[in-house]
Structure formats: C-alpha cells, structure tokens
Amino acid sequence: EIVLTQSPGTLSLSPGERATLSCRASQSVSSRYLAWYQQKPGQAPRLLIYGASSRATGIPDRFSGSGSGTDFTLTISRLEPEDFAVYYCQQYGSSPQTFGQGTKLEIK
C-alpha cells in the first residue's frame, strides 16, 4: 500500500499570499495518478487536480499541481478568502488507492 504524507499539517497564510502544499509518496505513483481535493466544513470534497497537473472543470487557474514519482506539490498562486479549507492528495494508480492525511490551510 502506498502511504501518502502531506506537509505541513497546518499552513497559516493571509489572503493574497502564495500557498505551497506537499504530498510525498512511500513508493512511486504510477503514471502520475495523483489527485488533489479541497474540502470545506460540512461539504463533500471537490476535485481540484488530477493526473498530477491537470485542473478539473471549473477550477480557477490560481490552482496548479506539479511533481512526479514520489514528490508532488499543490500551489495556490494568490490566496482568495474561499481557498481556506482542508486539502487532500490521493493516489489512484495502484490498489488500494490511498489519501494523504490532509493539510489545513487557515487564515493568518
């Protein structure tokens, strides 16, 4: 089973700043099958990024994903108030699929 470790656990930033979230895998993620999700309180998760770097439909271009192998990054170029939430990475290239433990992005 591939273990995904996200860092930091909590990230405190201000609107307008740049956010960089990390997801490290215990083994190489097949064919860049790495996704990022955003979850706000009381809501279902929402897909942001799939295939490590492709934005899902309707996702603003301030969200970008990069990486390959075992190291992946989600970058939010300029934080908007609605971006403060919990973010999860997921690998879906091998079974069982797995999620990271999440990074909470909070307002500083």
Measuring CA to CA, how many Å separate 8 from each of 19, 27, 30, 68? 11, 20, 24, 19
The span from the CA of 59 to the CA of 29, in Å, is: 23
Signed CA dihedral, 26, 72, 23, 31: sign only: negative
Based on the shown chain and the rule CB under 8 A, indicate whether residue 88 belongs to the binding site for another protein: yes
Based on the shown chain and the rule CB under 8 A, indicate whether residue 75 belongs to the binding site for another protein: no
Based on the shown chain and the rule CB under 8 A, indicate whether residue 2 belongs to the binding site for another protein: no
Instruction: State the nearest-atom distance from the C-beta of 70 to another protein, in Å.
Output: 18
Contact indicator for 72, 7 with CB cutoff of 8 Å = no
| Region binding another protein by CB under 8 A among candidate stretches 22-30, 64-72, 76-84, 91-99 | 91-99
Based on the shown chain and the rule CB under 8 A, indicate whether residue 11 belongs to the binding site for another protein: no
The span from the CA of 102 to the CA of 105, in Å, is: 10
User: Taking CB under 8 A as the criterion, which residues in 55-74 touch another protein?
Assistant: 56
Instruction: State the nearest-atom distance from the C-beta of 63 to another protein, in Å.
Output: 14
Residues forming the site for another protein (CB under 8 A): 1, 33, 35, 37, 39, 44-47, 50-51, 54, 56, 88, 90, 92, 95-102
